[in-house]
A and B are shown apart, each in its own frame.
Chain A
Amino acid sequence: MAKGRRVLVTGLGTFWGGRVAQALEADPDTDVIIGLDTTHPTVELERTEFVRTDESYSLLARIVRAADIDTIIHTFLVVDSTQMSARQLHETNVIGTMNLCAAASQEGSKVCNVVVKSSTLVYGSTHRDPVWFAEETPRSGPPRTRVERTLVEVESYVRDYAIDNPHVAVTMLRFSNVVGPDIVTPLSRVLQMPLVPAIFGFDPRFQFVHEDDVVRALMFVLERQIPGIYNIAGDGLLPWSETVAICGKRRGYLPPVGTRLAAGSLSRLGIALPPEMLDLLTYGRGVDNRRLKAAGFEYEHTSAGAVESYAQALRLRNTVGDPRPAYHYESDVEQFFRHSPAVVRDRENSSSNSRRR
């Protein structure tokens, strides 16, 4: 390869942004990695440049132009509505994506590959759903929750961008419920509780994907440059009762009637059950993962395997606490490593390479 990729990663401070940047750093074909976020990254990064922006990325166009970016990985789509207010959610997801698309399609842009990390929340969860959603299966009804609405809007912007820029390989990955040793989601928080919430009289089937498979899938589509929409989910559907059993927990029941009311009073106690999760706890969701498999991707974990891996991490954490202290991004130290002549760079490179191997 003559010249390596110049990659822009959005949401560097989030779990995904950090993991993707780490994976990119290990990739010799990637020349430049620029990470954007409103907060500092929380993972150890060696050669990623961090740029602090506002949540809607209004300065993005200039960054893309200045750094000759050719690949954009958009991981900063918030799917956890407990994290932020409705307005913030809208700004981050919808306006952020709009600015991203605008920046990528500006005059003289060299962007040729865009990967967007979406969620299977765009399919919704109702009693009219098929057991398996394929990528082209429409929703059974209009989106009812905020986060679903923003994601549906985001996808429509991305689709418009793909139509307007046929020379750009636009890949949209819809991730199912992600679990794993490190990621924190509303679902993983719920599975940590001594009594795991369930809705009485319902035992929906869930699909899970392991966090490693998510990063691998992102790197896979980046390498292959395969445009289109792909579902990312482990094989198999797991009843909620079994999921809870694998985690070694018991279920605590919410009433099937007036569920939202009960969830509302629970949220006052600090147990956040967003409406999209209540839907999921009632009807579940399964997505067909065969399209990416047909493209050559192999999952390392099934749905049950991903939950088992999470359960093992949970047991370890219950015994010894957090086994890996979170790295705090010290910008001064990072600056020193990058720019000080005192740092011996060749050795640094070779040792990091050997460690990597």
Chain B
Amino acid sequence: MARQTARDPRKRSPERQGSKAENKAGDKARKATSKAGTATEATEASATRGTKESLLPVPIDPHPPDDPRRSDVDEWGRSEHLRSILRTVVDPIYTHWFRAEWENFDRIPTEGGALLVGNHAGAIPSDAATIMHGIETQLGRPVYTLADEFFKKLPLVNIYWQRLGGVQAHPDNAYRLLREQRQLVLTFPEGNKGPGKHFSERYQLRRFGRGGFVEIALRAGVPIIPIATVGAEESMPIVYKSPTLARLLGLPYFPITANMLVLGPLGIVTWFPAKFRMRVLEPITFDEPPDQPRYSRSRIMDSAEMIRQRIQEALYDMLRQRQSVWRG
């Protein structure tokens, strides 16, 4: 009843107009038949009925066709169109510059949510783009990357970062992506401590945050898939960090990279062609049921530390086997 009563008077107007038009047409029809003079009452009635039926008030939808969307930007700000353009641009870099290679790629699920966890490196980390590109081209499913809220404050960067698959690292966002939309989500628990470390500390994993990523995976009931990446550290090594400039500019760190020293200003956006190797480790599943109000903090910290250890060991193993930084 409320639906009917809540209706706006405006919505009645099409009907009213319809009935007016109908009357007019009816009159015309009647005139026409009487002019002909041959029509009996019955035919007249049927004629008017006929015209009436054909002129029944056409239900004009007072609402516009819903969803007049003009772009393909989704709720996370991602645009598949822009993403595919980027894939075309990145593809030669991925195959010829970094010559990215995967081990155990089949451990990445082809459907269902999963939290991909990696090590993060290089002043401007190239690992995120490489992992996303590899998975999206090979599996044909999108990867959303959780990133620091800092990006959201930068003009222009914030638009394109979101259009290309970046999502602000908020537990609610990650939960919705993983649990409700069953997507692949990539995260780097080291945060900016990973890329912000000096070249001398390369492949030494930092603290894995406070284990928030484990809690999200537990709540969402998805496996964690660790990925160890070798090559990103050497693609843009930090040789000097200026805390003063970082503070002045409000940046998490202000690096002077080897790329800048060698290539000048061009080095800000040019990576060295280090050989990229990604090793997908054994997925970690949890016994706890999802959607619990709270999970044991010590259990979370233990799992986070265990995952960090596994990635660290895999990195050492891959470095032991690596003959050359450039040729792999």
Contacts and interface: CB of A to CB of B under 8 A. Distances in A.
Given A201-B158, A219-B6, A131 B67 contact: no
B77 to A, nearest CB: 6
A203 B152 contact: no
Contact of A242 (B7, B8, B69, B76): B69
A132 B176 contact: yes
B6 A23 contact: yes
A23 B64 CA distance: 22
Given A212-B8, A304-B67, A309-B63, A127 B75 contact: no
A298 B65 CA distance: 16
Interface stretch (B165-173, B205-213, B235-243): B165-173
Residue of A215, A308, A312, A324 with most chain B CB atoms under a 10 A cut-off: A308
Interface string B66-87: 1111110101110000000000
A130 B173 contact: yes
A256 B69 CA distance: 27
A157 interface: no
A339 interface: no
Contact of B172 (A134, A219, A256): A134
B6 A242 contact: no
A237 B70 contact: no
B171 to A, nearest CB: 8
Nearest to A27: B5
Interface in A289-327: 300-302, 304-305, 307-309, 312, 324
Nearest to B7: A26
A216 B69 contact: no
Nearest to B71: A242
Given A130-B168, A131-B76, A137-B172, A305 B2 contact: no
Interface residues of A, number: 51
A337 interface: no
Interface string A202-239: 11010000001001100110110000000000001111
A302 B66 contact: yes
B155 interface: yes
A129 B170 contact: yes
Interface in A249-307: 256, 283, 286, 300-302, 304-305, 307
A300 B63 contact: yes
Given A26-B5, A205-B77, A219-B5, A127 B153 contact: yes
A144 to B, nearest CB: 15
Interface string A127-163: 1111110100100000000000000000000000000
The 3 lowest CB-CB distance pairs between A and B, nearest first, are: A201-B155, A305-B66, A26-B5
B70 A245 contact: yes
A239 B77 contact: yes
Interface residues of B, number: 40
B93 interface: no
B3 interface: yes
20 contacts: A23-B5, A26-B4, A27-B1, A129-B168, A130-B172, A130-B173, A131-B173, A131-B176, A202-B155, A219-B2, A239-B77, A245-B70, A283-B152, A304-B66, A305-B68, A307-B68, A308-B64, A308-B66, A312-B64, A324-B10
A27 B65 CA distance: 29
Contact of B75 (A205, A222, A324): A205
Interface in B72-112: 73, 75-77
A137 to B, nearest CB: 7
A246 interface: yes
Given A134-B172, A239-B73, A302 B6 contact: no
Nearest to A200: B155
Contacts of A246: 68, 70
A223 B2 contact: yes
A11 to B, nearest CB: 18
Interface in B146-167: 149, 152-159, 167
Interface string B1-42: 111111111101000000000000000000000000000000
B120 to A, nearest CB: 21
